[in-house]
Amino acid sequence: MNEHDRERIKKLLQEALPRVDDGSEPSRDLWPAMLRRLDEEPAPVSASGAGLRWTWIDGALAAGLAVLIVSFPASIPLLLYYL
């Protein structure tokens, strides 16, 4: 890479990336919002998983796994290894 290429890359990077000021601060104080989030009670989830809902992708993955196990029973030890 010659000097011309280095200068060109340097110029392109300086144009693409915004300049960061040394004294830049957030536009507002984020700590009170963080304290509010920490004080909020999390949504209760029962140990039995009754609060969890399945989406269509979960069902499709479960069906695909069932088809794989029925089609290739020799793959069961491999699947158990990766669990």
* Confidence bin at 49 (pLDDT 50/70/90): low
In the chain, where the domains are located: 58-83
Helix (H, G, I), strand (E, B) or coil at 28: coil
pLDDT in tens, 62-81: 999 999 999 999 989 998 89
pLDDT in tens, 12-42: 998 898 777 666 676 788 889 889 988 887 7
pLDDT at 47: 58
CA atoms within a 13 Å half-sphere pointing along the CA-CB vector of 21: 4
Q: Which residues of 25-48 are buried (b: 16+ CB within 10 A; e: fewer)?
A: eeeeeeeeeeeeeeeeeeeeeeee
